[in-house]
Structure 1
Amino acid sequence: MCILAAGDHFVLNSTIRDALREELGSHVPISELTLPWPDVPFGDVAEVHEASGSEEELIEALQGVAICVTQMAPLTRRVLENCPDLRLFAVGRGGPVNANLPAASEHGVAVTFAPGRNATATAEHTVALTLAAMRRVPQTHSELRSATWRGDYYRYDQVGLELRETTVGLVGFGAIGSRVARIMNGFGAHVLVHDPYTDKAAVEGVAEHVGLPELLSRSRVVSLHARVTPETTGMIGAAQIAAMPPDSVLVNCARGALLDYDAVCDALDRGHLFAAAFDVFPAEPVPPGSRLLRTPNIVMTPHLAGASRQTAHQAAFITAAEVGRFIRGEPLSHCANPEAIDNGGAFTTR
C-alpha cells in the first residue's frame, strides 16, 4: 500500500508526511506531488472546482496508490477511471469541492474532508477586518506612509467606532460564527445570531437568536458566516443593506455569492454604510475595473482569512487521522460519501 501526499505551497508535503508518520508510523511508503497553488490560482479542472494541478499529473502520481492526502488535487471522473487502486481521497479543507463525489462513490472511493481546520484563523481574521474597518486602519496607515498626517480624522464625523456596547449581528453560527461570537463578547459587544439550523438553546449565554430582518435592523456591525446554498445565494442585497442602521459596517469572510457587492458600493457612495470589509469576492482575483477598488471605506484582503500556519497543520493532522481510521477499519469521522465505503471503512485491496 502506498500513500500519495499531494500538497501545495500552503499545506506542505513535509507537513502532510509528518502528520502521516505520527499517525501511522514510519513503515508506510509515502510518495509526493507538489501542486502549484497558491502561486498559481486555483480554478475549475474538468467538472470540479477550486482545484490545482492537472488531471494528467495526478493520474500519473496515483498509479499503484491507494490513498491520496491533498488539499487541492482534482478528483475528476477521468482521474477515477484511470486510477483503479485508489480507495481513499482525503481532502484537507472544509468541503471537498475539488472532488466529484458521485463519481467517487461509483468507483468505491471514499472522500473525506477537514471541517473546522481554519475556523479559528477565519474568526480572528474576521474580527481583525472588522476593527480595521471601524477604526479606518488601512486608510490612516497608507496616508501616514505617504507623509500625510490626517488630524481631521479626529473630527466627530470622521472618527471611528468601538465594539464595546455595539450590537454585532452574525449570519451563521457554525464553527466560525460561534468563535466570532465569543471573541465579540470579549470586547463587550452584544451579539445577535441568525441561523435557521441552530436553535436558541445552542446560542444561549453567547448570543441572542433572532430572525434576519431583526438582526439587520438592530446591528451596527453585520458579519456573514453562512454556507452558499440556493437559499443563501444573494441573501444580502440592496433591500437588506437599506434595513441596516445608518453608519453600519458590513463584513464578509465567508463566500462572495452571499452578497450583492454593487449594492454595498452604492450604500458606501451615498454614506449609508460607514465601512465594509471583505476577504471574499464575486470574482477572484478581483478584476482591475471592479468598483470595489475605487469605492471608499472598504477594507480588503485576498481570500486569506483561513490562512495561518496552524490551519495548514490542522488540515494535515485531521486528514492523517482519517487515513488512520480508514486503514484500521474504523468509522470515518468526516466522510462526504459514506456509501462508497465497503466493510465499515476497512482498507481492502481490489
Structure 2
Amino acid sequence: MSKNEISKGILHSLLVITGVLLTLYLLFEIKVLVGYLIIAGIISLIGRPIVIFLNNRLKLKNTTASIFTMFFFLAVIIGIISLFIPLVIEQGKNLSLLDIDSFQGNIKFLYAETSTYLNRFNIDLNNTIFNMDWLSNMDFGFVPEILNSLGKTLGNLTIGILSIMFISFFLLKDAMILERTLYVMIPKKSSKKFGKSFESIKLLLSRYFGGLILQIFILFIIYTIILLIIGTPNAFVIAFLCSLLNLIPFVGPVVGGILMILLTMSSHIGADFSSVILPKAIYVSIGFIFGQLIDNFFSQPYIFSNSVKSHPLEIFLIIITGGLLFGPLGMIAAIPTYTALKVIGKEFFSENRIVKELTKNL
C-alpha cells in the first residue's frame, strides 16, 4: 500500500470521526427537539390504530381522521391536567403559607409513633439507618421553593405539549413522512428490506405502546378502588401517579408502592397510629401487592407475548442492560429499541444463527 493511499485512508477516517462527533454534538444541542420528535413518534404509533379505524370504518379522509385523533389525545391531556391542577393549587396555597416548624413536627410525630409501635417487637429504629439524626438535620425550607418554581415548569410543559401535538398531527396525517426522510439516508439496494423493517417496527411498537396504556389503566383502576375503599384523600391522583411510575421497570413499582403508603399515612397525621394509620398502611400495602400480582402475571406477559414477541427472560435481561447503561430512561427505552433492532436484524442478517434464534417468533 502506497503512502498516498495510507494518507487518504487516514484523512477519510478523520473526516468520518469528525462528522460523527459533529452530529452527536448537534443532537446534544437540540436534545429538547429530539425529545419532542421521539415523544411525537410514540404518540403517532399509539394513534395509528385510531386513524386506521376512522379511515376504514367511518370512511374519513386521513386529514380528518388525524384531527379527530389529535382532539382525542388533547382531551386526555386536558383531563389529566384538570385532575392535577386543583390539587397543585390547593397544595401551593397551603405550602406557601406553610409553618415549616409545624410541618417538621408532624413528620417527627409520625416517626415517633412508628418507632414506639415497632419497639413492641424489639425493633429499634434509632439503631438503623432510619434514625432521628437525619430527620432533625433536614431543612424542610425547600418545600415552598419547589412550589414557587412550579409555575415556570408548567409554562415550559405547555410549550412542550403544543410542540409535540403539532409534530404528532403531521406524523399521523402523513404516515410516510418519516419513512421518506429515512429513505434518503439508506442505500437504494437496501431500500426494500428497510421498507419491510420499518412497517414491522411500526406495527409491533404500536401494539406495544397500546398494551402499555392498557397496563397503566388496569393498575389505575385497581389502585383507585383500593384507595377509595380505605378513604385516602385525592385517591384518583395518587392512583394515577403510582400506576404511571410502573412504566419504569422494577424501580417504578417500588417507588410507587412507597409513595402510596407514605401519602396514605401522611393524610391521617394526628389520628391514632395503632388503630388508624398502621391498619390503613397495611391495607394499602396488600392492595398494592394485589395490583402488582395482576400486573406481573397477567398484564405484562400479555403485552410482551402479543406485541414484541419476546421471551420474559429475554425482556428481563434487556431491561437490566438498559438500566445499567443508561439508568431509568434506558430501562424504559430498552424494549422498544431492542424490538426495532430485532426486526432490522431479521431483514438484513437473516442468515446469522443468533439472529435466526432471536427472531424466530417475529
TM-score range, shorter chain: under 0.3
More strand by share: 1
TM-score, normalised with respect to structure 1:
0.22
User: Would you tell me which structure has more helix in proportion to its own residues?
Assistant: 2
Return the TM-score normalized by structure 2: 0.22
